[in-house]
Every structure is written in structure tokens, then in C-alpha cells.
Amino acid sequence: MKHLILGTAGHIDHGKTSLVKALTGIDTDRLKEEKARGITIELGFAHLELPGDIRFGIVDVPGHERFVRAMVAGVGGMDLVMLVIAADEGVMPQTREHLEICQLLGVKKGLVVLTKSDMVDEEWLGLVGEEVRDYLAGSFLAEAPIIPVSSRSGAGLDALKEALVRLAAEVEEKRHDGPFRLPVDRVFTVTGFGTVVTGTLLSGEIRVGDEVELLPAGLACRVRGIQAHGAKADKGQAGQRLAVNLQGVEHTEVVRGDVVVPKGLYHPTRAVDVRLDYLKSAPRQLKHRSTLRLHSATYEVAAKVILIDRDTLLPGDTAHVQLRLAKPVLLLPGDPFVLRTYSPQATLGGGIVLDPAPPRRRRRSAEALELLRAIEAGSEADKIRLLISTSLLSGLSLDDMVSRTGMAAKRIEAALASLLSAGEVLQVVREPRIFLGKEAFDTLKTALMAELENFLRDNPMKDGIGKEELKSRIPRRSDPRFFGPLLAALEKEGKAVSERDIIKLPGRKGEATVDQAGLQARIEAALLKGGMEPPTIRELCDRLGCGEKQLLEHLNLLAREGRAAKIKSDIFYAPQPLAAIREKLITHLKSRGEINPPDFRELTGLSRKFMIPLLEYFDQEKLTIRVGDKRVLRKG
């Protein structure tokens, strides 16, 4: 069964609703006001099965110029359109506007129905047919069939159905893979069931039991039941008209324009980069920062037009622009939209979304424009590569890619596979899977090498930098989780070596210069001279005439080489006096079994300043173990 959405379009009173009724037997004008006034106000829905296993969901739109807003919402999911033109009136203003809207919103195919054929004679019908054919030149309906029909007598209906079957074979069904998206066009309550929303499923499949979310508000709810074309179903698929019963949300919380999507996947956006086709029929030029109304799917929102590469847009121009939206909405790459004004009411243009998460800059560089052109023209792999490369140093997860493109994860993975094997992108985190562009990866490697080199220049005494230290120096716009693969790559290229937790430059060793060697010898001598009560850092600085940072660096180096012992961050001993204290302590503990601080003071004659740190040092060295306020020898 092929599921397609067939819509009407055309001027008021040209017979759209009558045509749908003649085709399906369903009167789509349900409202009292519609019946009383004899015009359509809201979207109407019907369905039609035709030979060849074709099932059409039908959307009937209003023709009145004041209801173009509702009409646009109906065009959102249309696969095929029937442009309805009354034979006695011919092409009228909303015939034109509706055709433009269908074209801008990317309706691929359709046909023209010359209605009310019973009201004119053959000759007139021929003339109108020619006029219509001329009018269609250059539009997506230029070659479309033009079929005279009388909804009153039924003449021409069979020919229309045959033409619809032929057209249906030429269009592709909407994509069943990828996350589902259901823009809401109606909301109501059903006693005993609660909130029901209706809409055309634009992609994917939705099932009873699915955890879903209503955007942009982010209301979480659950699918309790589904009806497809009026019959109960377990699931709905792309291209079907659905009524979905939602649990966990009040009908007053939902409005037309909301979108039902899988929970937690998509993020509404307030700025999009788009390709904008500014209509030839637009009444005036469009200035930078003009505010218009954007219509897409079933919602509309105020949008400020940021012209990227020019100051004004002339009728007939096409340009890449950024749209800043008054409130967040869900837009994905490839989504069509139209832009309208309300005083006076007119459709000015439209186009497709290229990047729903662009950098928020006023004007953009030539490279950025280049990028938008490439996004527009490229293959799926190109698009994924561009998406990753525009994420710069922060990388992009697979989930991000799904939510930014609406593409199925499988298709993204296929694109990634070719990019990975070509070396154009790299996977930098396994769980969740995060990818970086090759250029960003190289930039980060260079940044880390610079950090390593700078550190060693500032700390000439050191052999290398601590792993954690270097990791913390990854640029903030990036992610410390990328450190592992970056270091591995640097090591593989022979640019860095890691030994345990220290990362070094190959072949470089922290060395003291002659002068510094002299200073070290003097530090050693001063410590030795201090004996059991060595000089403090401050005293050493004064005595040796050096800075505290430099001194500590030397002391730490001496400690690493076993030429001094570090008791505490600011207490260092020469090895000999420390060994003597240690001997005394061991002898005492062997004979007495334990020692407390007063005993230790008596034993060594040390002041409290040295005594406590020493006791703690021996604990740390695992010579002693603390039991209450006493120390005993550690066994083994």
C-alpha cells in the first residue's frame, strides 16, 4: 500500500470542497460557520483508495485570501496537489498565490482540475485550458495534465482518477526510516480518551506506547492510541493522516503548530540559515532586518531576515540568509518554509532550511557562504562531513547528528563509514560516539604540542608535564575526553612520549645548567648544615638569594634524585640527618613497641614544627602506623 497526501489548492469558490466530496463522498466542511457561509475556513480531511494499492490522505484547503495561513499549514505534508480552477472564472489571485506557496513548499507534482465544466461550453473550455497552460509555464506544473471536471454531473471524474493513479506512481512515499515527526493541525478531546491530535506524519513510524514529546514546549507524553484514516492502528507511518490519542497532556496545552516527536531527541531552534527565494511577484525589495512571518509545517512565527552578503534583496533574487525567530521552533535541514506579510497580506518568498544550528553572527565570511552552498548541493556524506567540520573543536555525537538532520542513524552511519575510511573524520569518544573533523583534530594536536613545549620552556628543570595537567590544558571549546586519542596520535607520530604519568618531548631531559648545578649544591649544603632542624623555604631563599618558585623547583628535583627528602611541601631534609632520626625511631620502637609525640620529642629534641611533620612523613613512608595518638612499627 502506497500512502500519499493529496491536497487541493485554488481560489475561493472554485469548487475544491465539492471536488473532494465528488471523489470521496466525504464533506470536509464540518464547521457550522462553513456550512452557513458556504466557504471553507479550516483544513478539511478525507481519504481515497485507488487501484494500484494507492491510498490518498486528502487535505482540502480554504481559498479565501484571509485564510491563506490555514492553507499553508495544509500544504506542509502534500505529495501531490490538485490545483482547482473554475472553468467559468479562470486564473484568479489565490490561484496564483496557492501555486507559489506549493512551489515554495516543495510540492513535487500535481495536476490542474478545471471545475464547473458544466457551466461553460466546449469552446470556452478550450480557451480556458490554453490560458491556464500559458500561466503554468515555468512552474512545477508546467507539464501537468489539465482535466475538465464537473462535480455536479460527475463528468471527468474517471479521467481525474486515472491521472491521479499515474502521478502517484511517479512520486516517492515519504521516508519511513528516521525519527517520526507529526506536526499537529487539530487538537480536540474525546470523552473517555482525552487529548487527540491530528496531522500528517512527515517521516518515520509512530507506535502505540511510544514515549513522545510535544515541541517547542517539551511536554512529555505517551501515545495511547492511533487512528489512520479513521481506523484503529498499532502504528502510523510516514505519509498517513493520523489521529493520535496522547496520554499525559491536556488538550488545552496543545495548539496547532506543535510537533509530536520522539522524547528527548530534537532541540527547537531560534535561528536558521536558509536558502531564500524571493518571489518575482513580491511588491518591493526586502531590507536587511525586515520582520516577516515564517510558515513551516503547521506553525507560523515572526522571523527577522538577516541578509548575509547584501543589503537588500530584489524580487526574483535567491540568497542565503539567516532567519532569527521570535520563539523557538523545530526546523531541520531540508525543511521548506514560506515567508509572508500581513499588512497587506502577501506571500513574499520561501525556501529551504540548510543549517538549523548556525553560529549567531550578523554577517558571515565568504567561507561560511561557501559552506551553505555546499550543504545545499552536497551528497549525504558531504552534509555529514560539513556538519562535523562546522562543529569545530567540540565534535559531534551520533545522536546530535540525528537530531540536527532528522536522518535515520543507519544512513548517517553509512555516510560516516566512508568519511572515517577516507580519514576525513575521526571517532574520538567511543561511548557516546563522538566524531571530530580531521582539521579540528590536527588543530587540537598542535595546541597540545604548544602547551607541552611552553610548559617545558617555563619549567626547564622538569622532564615533562603531568598527564592530567596537559589534559586540563585542552582548549575550553573542546572536550577533555578527546585527550586519549590525541596523545596516542602524537606518540605515534613520535612527537611526544609518555612515561607513566609524565609526557615528555622525545630526547629532551630536564637539566640543570652549570649555574643551577651550583645553586643545587649550595641548597644541599645548607640543608646538611641545618641538620635535624633544617632552614625553612623563606630562610633558604634569603640565604641563597633566589626566588621561592625556583627554589622549590630545585628542591623537588633534589628530592626526586634522592639528594634531599621532602617531608612536607615546605620542609626538606638532607638525607643524612633524616637517616639518623629514622635510626633512633626504629631502635626506640623495637625496644618499646610504641611511641607518642612527647616521647618522640624527648628522643630527638625536635621542636613541634618539625616533629609532627616527621611523624606524619614516617607514616606516609609506611615505616610506622598510627594507632590513636601513638605510632607502632608497620609489619612486613
Ligand X SMILES: Nc1nc2c(ncn2[C@@H]2O[C@H](COP(=O)(O)OP(=O)(O)OP(=O)(O)O)[C@@H](O)[C@H]2O)c(=O)[nH]1
**For residues 1 and 31, which CB has a smaller minimum distance to ligand X in the complex?**
31
**For residues 26 and 119, which CB has a smaller minimum distance to ligand X in the complex?**
119
Residues 475-534 that bind ligand X (CB under 6 A): none
Grid cell locating 38: 458556504
Considering only residues 57, 63, 350, 356, which one is a binding residue for ligand X as defined by CB under 6 A?
A: 63
Residue 90 touches ligand X, criterion: CB under 6 A:
no
Nearest approach, Cβ of residue 308 and ligand X (Å): 38
Nearest to 221 by CA among 177, 176, 190, 253: 253
Residue 18: which of Mg ion, ligand X, none does it interact with, CB under 5 to 8 A by kind?
ligand X
Residue 151 touches ligand X, criterion: CB under 6 A:
yes
User: What is the total count of residues that contact ligand X (CB under 6 A)?
Assistant: 20
**For residues 35 and 363, which CB has a smaller minimum distance to Mg ion in the complex?**
35
Residue 79 touches ligand X, criterion: CB under 6 A:
no
Considering only residues 64, 175, 224, 438, which one is a binding residue for ligand X as defined by CB under 6 A?
A: 64
> Which segment (147-155, 437-445, 516-524, 600-608) binds ligand X by CB under 6 A?
147-155
Nearest approach, Cβ of residue 117 and ligand X (Å): 7
CA terminus-to-terminus distance, the chain:
80
**For residues 133 and 152, which CB has a smaller minimum distance to Mg ion in the complex?**
152
Rg of the chain over CA atoms, in angstroms? 38
Cα–Cα dist 471/489, whole Å: 14
CB 301 within 8 A of CB 340: no
Nearest to 251 by CA among 209, 208, 219: 219
Residue 17 touches ligand X, criterion: CB under 6 A:
yes
Cα–Cα dist 615/610, whole Å: 9
User: How many CA atoms within 13 Å lie on the side-chain side of 339?
Assistant: 26
Residue 13: which of ligand X, Mg ion, none does it interact with, CB under 5 to 8 A by kind?
ligand X
Considering only residues 95, 103, 150, 198, which one is a binding residue for ligand X as defined by CB under 6 A?
A: 150
**For residues 82 and 519, which CB has a smaller minimum distance to Mg ion in the complex?**
82
Considering only residues 3, 5, 13, 187, which one is a binding residue for ligand X as defined by CB under 6 A?
A: 13
Considering only residues 18, 237, 269, 520, which one is a binding residue for ligand X as defined by CB under 6 A?
A: 18
Grid cell locating 619: 607514616
Residue 98 touches ligand X, criterion: CB under 6 A:
no
Nearest approach, Cβ of residue 40 and ligand X (Å): 3
**For residues 115 and 391, which CB has a smaller minimum distance to ligand X in the complex?**
115
Residue 295: which of Mg ion, ligand X, none does it interact with, CB under 5 to 8 A by kind?
none
Residues 6+ apart with CB under 8 A from 484: none
Pairing state between β 336-342 and 464-466: unpaired
User: How many CA atoms within 13 Å lie on the side-chain side of 47?
Assistant: 17
Residue 391: which of Mg ion, ligand X, none does it interact with, CB under 5 to 8 A by kind?
none
Residues that bind Mg ion (CB under 5 A): 16-17, 40
- Chain centre distance of CA 325: 17
Residue 241: which of Mg ion, ligand X, none does it interact with, CB under 5 to 8 A by kind?
none
Question: If you write DSSP's letter for every residue of 529-555 in order, what string do you get?
Answer: HHTTSPPPHHHHHHHHT--HHHHHHHH
Pairing state between β 54-60 and 146-148: unpaired
**For residues 61 and 184, which CB has a smaller minimum distance to ligand X in the complex?**
61
Neighbours of 627 (CB within 10 A): 9
Residues 575-614 that bind ligand X (CB under 6 A): none
Residue 95 touches ligand X, criterion: CB under 6 A:
no
Residue 14: which of Mg ion, ligand X, none does it interact with, CB under 5 to 8 A by kind?
ligand X
Binding mask 553-572 for ligand X (x = CB under 6 A): --------------------
Residue 152 touches ligand X, criterion: CB under 6 A:
yes
**For residues 25 and 38, which CB has a smaller minimum distance to ligand X in the complex?**
38
**For residues 19 and 306, which CB has a smaller minimum distance to Mg ion in the complex?**
19
> Which segment (144-152, 208-216, 486-494, 583-591) binds ligand X by CB under 6 A?
144-152
- b/e for 569-582, b at 16 or more Cβ within 10 A? eebbbbeebbeebb
Residue 12: which of ligand X, Mg ion, none does it interact with, CB under 5 to 8 A by kind?
ligand X
- The three-class DSSP label of residue 479 is coil
Question: If you write DSSP's letter for every residue of 143-200 in order, what string do you get?
Answer: T--EEE--TTT-TTHHHHHHHHHHHHHHSPPPP-SS--BEE--EEEEETTTEEEEEEE
> Which segment (32-40, 182-190, 243-251, 586-594) binds ligand X by CB under 6 A?
32-40
Binding mask 113-132 for ligand X (x = CB under 6 A): --xx-xx-------------
Can you give 211-261 as a three-state secondary structure string? EEEEECCCEEEEEEEEEECCEEECEEECCCEEEEEEECCCHHHCCCCCEEE
Task: Compute the C-alpha angle 229/352/298, nearest 5°.
Answer: 35
> Which segment (34-42, 131-139, 375-383, 576-584) binds ligand X by CB under 6 A?
34-42
C-alpha torsion angle, residues 231, 233, 237, 243 (rounded to 10)? 60
Can you give 438-468 as a three-state secondary structure string? HHHHHHHHHHHHHHHHHHHHHCCCCCEEEHH
Nearest approach, Cβ of residue 295 and ligand X (Å): 18
Residue nearest to ligand X (CB): 63
User: Which residues are at the interface with ligand X (CB under 6 A)?
Assistant: 12-18, 38-40, 62-64, 115-116, 118-119, 150-152
